[in-house]
């Protein structure tokens, strides 16, 4: 805390202390006010300007210092100055005083609060930016909410001072008028309770509820306006409760939930059920990683007391195993399974005709139209292909197409270039290198896996390089060329061009949402990289929802399924109760070897957001099971609130990191700290013990040293 803040805090404390020490509160009682009314009236008749100015100043000071007694001062304003002049003085004095209290709170406390609760405050500020004035106005209308508390809490937010002032001025006006008017009848009042009758308080509460009701009315008017152009085509009845476009993770879960609650639901998928995850992403890549890891272990058999061996294999057989794994999992996402669950599955292309109607062009050429009360867009994402000159001439594969294209090959391409240093690029680079290819990974940024902490990026790079991957960071792909039989990627680094010869080029520079081809543009649904939705996953049209990769902000299968629950439930029951999507605890993992898994904040994010944190780190190289498995590398890094065991985020690098992370995801979701993890029995010997030992490291760092010193003396005394 800065010197100026400390000085102001001391001055405020002294002022409040003086108020208490001098017992000035005795002048702010109802009895004292009634007894002094005649004297005030006489003084006001003699010097009206001076009395009004002093009254105004006292009111501002009392409100700014949050001194109790505002009700009495307000009554006094009505008693001495009458309704209109009293209302004028009180309205401006109370608002000015409230704004000063607001600014004092901001000046003294906000930096300190932001340093400790930065992320939570950031979420609050996002809401304040959007609807802060509305909520402040609502609170100001309800006198049962202490105004001094509103002043202090709002000062911690990013609300503009002018906004706070004028909203407070308007919001407090009705309540102020009631109290000032009561003051004009002071002689007839026996106590303050005469004003604060249950009926009056109930009226204030209703007054506070009014803006909420008004908001619903406004929402209904806006909704009517949005649908105005479609009013003539809105169906009177609907064929379905829900139509889902897209059969990936989000679409499948949305349809499943709808069927489970006995809604009539249709799922439309043009290509393969299961979407990207089953057919092109999670499943095939993990199957490839497993084969590549076994080949790596064979080459390093000496680590396990065996002989090193060069694996002999057919690349075609490896790729066939990948497709066999996909086929083994396919029944989980099949048309037959979902039909059995009660979902109507149509294989074809769905296109929005209006907010309630979808035209389906089936794969056999038939066309039909279906109407639904609600629609969920779950169209997924596709690989991003960079606009490199010459790329089409040399040919390329993406994370979608390589599984079919490489399955045609008898041998793995000798020289592979992987464009992209993100999770997909890293997983593919390491796997192909372990299967015998000469892999060059090209990343435009200064490091791979840039979303992770620098030490994690460095470990990932070391792991890839140890397997033979040539990692070129700071290299921007410029163009592709053919020279005879050679295919060449030209990249730029530090003002110079380098040439990389390859046999196969894999584009793994990210994925983009599928936004065209199913009618969003025709009915005017806004898109910008993803389909624009609100916190309930609603698009421009409240009955049309989006979930999964097409909605963002995450591109994970588990997040798509998470969003799907909200989309389906809100679509089916939103007229009664809607749920905001909860993104507080989102885990993810990159399945290189060693794995990298994370949930919550890492250090670079905490620093960027100005969030204070403490780091506890446990090296997995000291873990018994890791040593026994020759996997003794990596770490568990936990970020906590300074001095407390509340978890802000966890990064794990090591074998089975994605599995180990689950315990922390559960802990963060349900508010459990490191002490709870430490007090949980973990099976020995397992990798999961790393979590317990990390919690133990935190506990040792926070042991009460002074108390332990006295305990040591106690034990010394006990020994005689």
**Taking 70 as the threshold, does the pLDDT of residue 639 lie above it?**
yes
pLDDT in tens, 301-320: 999 999 999 999 999 999 99
Question: What phi and psi values does residue 412 have, to the nearest 5 degrees?
Answer: -65, 140
DSSP conformation class of 538: B
pLDDT of residue 197: 52
pLDDT in tens, 35-66: 565 666 677 778 888 878 887 888 888 787 77
CB count within 10 Å of CB 340 equals 10
- Over range 181-189, report the average pLDDT: 60
pLDDT of residue 151: 79
* Structural contact between residues 416 and 399, judged by C-beta atoms closer than 8 angstroms: no
Question: What phi and psi values does residue 265 have, to the nearest 5 degrees?
Answer: -130, 140
- Over range 639-651, report the average pLDDT: 96
* Structural contact between residues 639 and 613, judged by C-beta atoms closer than 8 angstroms: yes
Q: Which two tokens stand for residue 197?
A: 């009758």
- Over range 14-32, report the average pLDDT: 55
pLDDT of residue 43: 73
Would you put residue 246 in left (φ > 0), alpha (ψ -120 to 50) or beta? left
Q: Among all chains, which residue has been given the structure tokens 């960071």?
A: 473
Q: What's the start-to-end Cα distance of the chain, in Å? A: 49
pLDDT in tens, 415-472: 999 999 999 999 999 999 999 999 999 999 999 999 999 999 999 999 999 999 999 9
pLDDT of residue 171: 80
Q: How far apart are CA 165 and CA 171, in angstroms?
A: 10
**Minimal CA–CA distance to 377: which of 555, 233, 248, 236?**
248
**Taking 80 as the threshold, does the pLDDT of residue 475 lie above it?**
yes
Question: What phi and psi values does residue 497 have, to the nearest 5 degrees?
Answer: -100, 140
CB count within 10 Å of CB 4 equals 10
pLDDT in tens, 104-155: 888 777 776 666 655 556 656 666 676 777 777 777 766 556 666 777 778 8
Using pLDDT thresholds of 50, 70 and 90, give the confidence band for residue 5.
low
**Taking 60 as the threshold, does the pLDDT of residue 27 lie above it?**
no
**Minimal CA–CA distance to 456: which of 596, 284, 566?**
596
pLDDT of residue 439: 98
Q: Among all chains, which residue has been given the structure tokens 């402040």?
A: 136
Spatial neighbors of 569 by CB under 8 A, at least 6 apart, are 257, 579
Q: What domains appear along the chain, each with residue ranges and CATH number?
A: 3-213 (no CATH), 240-383+513-573 (3.50.50.60), 391-510 (3.50.50.60), 594-705 (3.30.390.30)
pLDDT in tens, 657-698: 999 999 999 999 999 999 999 999 999 999 999 999 999 999
Using pLDDT thresholds of 50, 70 and 90, give the confidence band for residue 395.
very high
For 288-307, give one letter per residue: b (16+ CB within 10 A) or e.
Answer: bbebbeebbbbeeeeeeeee
SS (H, E, C) 69-102: CHHHHHHHHHHHHCHHHHHHHHHHHHHHHHHHHH
* Structural contact between residues 325 and 284, judged by C-beta atoms closer than 8 angstroms: yes
What is the percent of the chain with per-residue pLDDT over 70, rounded to a whole number?
83
Q: Which two tokens stand for residue 66?
A: 């949050």
pTM to 2 decimal places: 0.77
From residue 289, give the alpha-carbon distance in Å to each of 65, 304, 423, 430: 65, 20, 13, 8
For 232-250, give one letter per residue: b (16+ CB within 10 A) or e.
Answer: eeeeeebbbbbbbbbbbbb
**Minimal CA–CA distance to 538: which of 563, 507, 519, 517?**
563
Query: pLDDT higher for 174 or 520?
Result: 520
Q: At what angle do helices 657-669 and 689-701 cross, to 10 degrees?
A: 60
> How does the average pLDDT of the chain come out, rounded?
87
From residue 578, give the alpha-carbon distance in Å to each of 128, 535, 574: 20, 10, 5
pLDDT in tens, 398-428: 999 999 999 999 999 999 999 999 999 999 9
Q: How far apart are CA 251 and CA 502, in angstroms?
A: 38
**Taking 90 as the threshold, does the pLDDT of residue 607 lie above it?**
yes
Q: How far apart are CA 312 and CA 314, in angstroms?
A: 7
Q: How far apart are CA 523 and CA 174, in angstroms?
A: 44
């Amino acid at each position: 805390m800065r010197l100026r803040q400390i000085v102001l805090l001391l001055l405020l404390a002294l002022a409040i202390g003086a108020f208490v020490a001098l017992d000035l509160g005795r002048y702010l009682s109802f009895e004292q006010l009634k007894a002094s009314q005649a004297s005030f009236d006489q003084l006001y008749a003699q010097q009206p300007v001076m009395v009004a100015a002093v009254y105004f100043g006292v009111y501002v000071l009392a409100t700014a210092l949050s001194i109790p007694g505002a009700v009495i001062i307000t009554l006094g304003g009505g008693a001495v100055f009458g309704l209109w002049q009293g209302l004028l003085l009180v309205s401006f004095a109370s608002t000015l005083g409230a704004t000063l209290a607001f600014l004092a709170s901001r000046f003294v406390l906000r930096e300190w609060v932001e340093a400790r609760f930065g992320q939570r405050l950031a979420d609050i500020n996002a809401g304040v930016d959007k609807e802060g004035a509305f909520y402040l106005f609502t609170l100001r209308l309800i006198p049962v909410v202490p105004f001094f508390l509103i002043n202090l809490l709002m000062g911690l937010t990013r609300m503009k001072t002018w906004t706070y002032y004028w909203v407070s001025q308007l919001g407090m006006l009705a309540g102020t008028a009631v109290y000032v008017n009561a003051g004009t009848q002071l002689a007839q009042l026996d106590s303050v309770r005469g004003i604060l009758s249950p009926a009056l308080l109930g009226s204030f509460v209703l007054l506070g509820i009014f803006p909420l009701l008004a908001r619903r009315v406004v929402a209904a008017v806006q909704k009517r306006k949005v649908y105005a152009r479609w009013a003539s085509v809105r169906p009177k009845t609907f064929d379905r409760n829900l139509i889902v476009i897209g059969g990936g993770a989000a679409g499948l879960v949305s349809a499943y939930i709808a069927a489970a609650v006995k809604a009539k639901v249709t799922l439309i998928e043009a290509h393969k059920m299961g979407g990207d995850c089953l057919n092109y992403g999670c499943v095939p890549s993990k199957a490839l990683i497993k084969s590549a890891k076994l080949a790596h272990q064979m080459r390093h058999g000496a680590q396990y007391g065996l002989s090193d061996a060069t694996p002999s294999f057919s690349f075609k057989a490896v790729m066939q195993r990948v497709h066999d794994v996909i086929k083994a999992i396919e029944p989980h996402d099949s048309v037959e399974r979902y039909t059995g669950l009660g979902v109507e599955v149509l294989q074809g292309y769905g296109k929005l005709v209006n907010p309630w109607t979808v035209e389906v062009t089936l794969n056999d050429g038939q066309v039909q139209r279906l109407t639904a009360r609600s629609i969920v867009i779950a169209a997924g994402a596709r690989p991003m292909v960079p606009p490199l000159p010459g790329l089409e001439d040399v040919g390329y594969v993406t994370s979608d197409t390589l599984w079919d294209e490489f399955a045609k090959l008898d041998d793995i391409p000798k020289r592979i270039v992987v464009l992209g240093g993100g999770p997909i690029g890293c997983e593919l680079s390491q796997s192909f290198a372990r299967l015998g290819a000469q892999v060059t990974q090209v990343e435009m940024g200064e490091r791979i896996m840039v979303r992770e902490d620098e030490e994690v990026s460095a470990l990932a790079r070391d792991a890839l390089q140890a397997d033979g991957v040539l990692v070129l960071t700071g290299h921007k792909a410029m163009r592709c060329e053919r020279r005879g039989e050679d295919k060449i990627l030209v990249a730029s680094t530090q003002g110079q061009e380098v040439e990389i010869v390859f046999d196969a080029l894999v584009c793994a520079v990210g994925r983009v949402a599928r936004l065209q081809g199913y009618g969003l543009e025709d009915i005017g649904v806004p898109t910008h990289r993803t389909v624009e939705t609100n916190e309930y996953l609603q698009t421009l049209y409240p009955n049309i929802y989006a979930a999964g990769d097409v909605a963002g902000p995450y591109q994970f299968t588990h997040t798509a399924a998470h969003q799907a629950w909200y989309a389906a439930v809100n679509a089916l029951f939103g007229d009664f109760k809607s749920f905001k999507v909860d993104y507080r605890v989102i885990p993810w993992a990159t399945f290189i070897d060693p794995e990298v898994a994370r949930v919550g904040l890492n250090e670079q994010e905490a620093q960027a957001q100005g969030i204070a944190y403490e780091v506890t780190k446990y090296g997995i190289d000291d873990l018994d099971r890791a040593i026994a498995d020759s996997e003794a590398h990596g770490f568990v890094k936990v970020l906590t609130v300074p001095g407390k065991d509340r978890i802000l985020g966890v990064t794990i690098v090591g074998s089975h990191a994605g599995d180990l992370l689950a315990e922390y995801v559960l802990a963060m979701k349900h508010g459990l700290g490191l002490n709870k993890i430490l007090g949980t029995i973990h099976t020995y010997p397992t990798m999961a013990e790393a979590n317990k030992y990390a919690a133990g490291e935190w506990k040792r760092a926070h042991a009460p040293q002074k108390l332990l010193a006295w305990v040591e003396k106690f034990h010394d005394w006990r020994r005689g």
